[in-house]
Amino acid sequence: MSFAKSPALLCAAALLAGLAGPALAQPKKPAAPAAPAPTAPAPAAPTNQTAQTGPQIITVKSEPSQADWTKVCGKDQASGTDICYTTRDFVSDQGQPVLAVAVYEMKNAAQKQEVRVVRYLLPLGLLLQPGIRFTVDGQQATPGKFAVCFPNGCFAEAGGVEPALIAAMKKGTTLNVSVQNQTQREVTFAVPLAGFGKAFDGPAMDPKVLEEQQKKLQSELEKRSEEMRKKLEAEKGAAPAAAPKP
């Protein structure tokens, strides 16, 4: 899964260039993403010791410029494997990139093999061990491991997941992704699943439409960056001069 020009539009180029090797090997690690780094949200100020050490729930929302879950399909020419993935970006209440989800389905009719992988892009600053756990609406947890980190986030994945998990995601309401922060406090990202089933079972996005969507998202990111820069410059210019020392 490669978060190309948006934090989580998992780039089709990396996927189609050879994600699945012979005999449906695990997906190759993608090229370094170019999006801004997701940042782990700072925990709210604790009111007691339990609040400080207990689990933290972070509710995320869909990236505003991404209308729905996106499905992309292609074929790995080397192995003859058909590859599809369904993905979506998620941001914090402040609109900052926080997390992205992609569900891969890889089929090879000649080898009679089928592999499903769930992959995440998570913020930097989390403990890589003991990995991640994710559940759908409180059902049995599925473990996953961190695979690789880049300057803009770390990839974690669970390979060989059962069809029952995908079915639960298609019917479910919330995907809870649990990790540990640097103080070993459990942090759970509550991800809405609305629309996932429709996208997963529906037709793949036209590559030309995908390219236009990527350009639009890139433009939006650049616009936000410029607005933030101007805001910081304005605040710096408006700051009162320090009073001279007596």
Q: Residue holding tokens 């209440």?
A: 93
pLDDT above 90 as % of the chain: 44
**Contact call for residues 104 and 87 (beta carbons, < 8 A):** no
Count of CB atoms situated within 10 Å of the CB of 158: 19
pLDDT single digits (tens) 23-55: 333 333 333 333 334 545 444 444 444 445 678
pLDDT for res 242: 52
Distance set, CA 72 to CA 1, 24, 48, 183 (Å) = 11, 18, 46, 38
Reference 10, options 38, 45, 26, 34; nearest CA is: 34
Distance (Å, whole) CA 227 – CA 179: 32
Q: How confident is the model at residue 220 (pLDDT cuts 50, 70, 90)?
A: confident
What is the overall mean pLDDT for the chain?
78
- Interatomic CA distance for residues 173 and 195, integer angstroms: 10
Q: Which of 89, 85, 87 is nearest to 65 (CA)?
A: 89
Tokens 């049995």 correspond to what residue? 140
* 154 bridge partner residues: 122, 149
Place 245 in a pLDDT band, splitting at 50, 70 and 90: low
Q: Percent of the chain at pLDDT above 70?
A: 75
Tell me: pLDDT of 118 over 70: yes
Q: 228, exposed or middle or buried, with CB in 10 Å at 0-12, 13-18, 19+? A: exposed
Closest CA relative to residue 120, chosen from 76, 58, 178, 180: 178
Q: Could you give the CA distance from residue 105 to residue 167 in angstroms, rounded to a whole number?
A: 13
Distances (CA, A) of 97 to 92, 111, 114, 155, 198: 7, 39, 32, 14, 24
Q: What is the pLDDT of residue 78?
A: 87
CATH architecture of 12-39+54-213: Sandwich (2.60)
What pLDDT was estimated at residue 209? 75
Indicate the range of 18-27, 195-204, 226-235 predicted with least confidence: 18-27
Position 23 scores a pLDDT of 30
Q: State the pLDDT at residue 45.
A: 40
pLDDT of residue 81: 92
Instruction: Output the 3-class SS for 17-43.
Output: CCCCCCCCCCCCCCCCCCCCCCECCCC
Instruction: Considering only residues 13 and 176, tell me which one the structure prediction assigns the higher pLDDT.
Output: 176
The residue extents of the domains of the chain are: 12-39+54-213
| pLDDT tens digit sequence for 226-237 | 888 888 888 887
- Quick check: pTM over 0.95? no
Give Cα separations from 171 to 54, 85, 137 (angstroms): 29, 18, 10
Render 120-140 in DSSP notation, one character per residue: EEE-BSB--SS-EEEEETT--
- Tens of pLDDT, residue by residue over 130-183, are 899 999 998 999 999 999 999 889 999 999 999 999 999 999 999 999 999 988
pLDDT of residue 241: 53
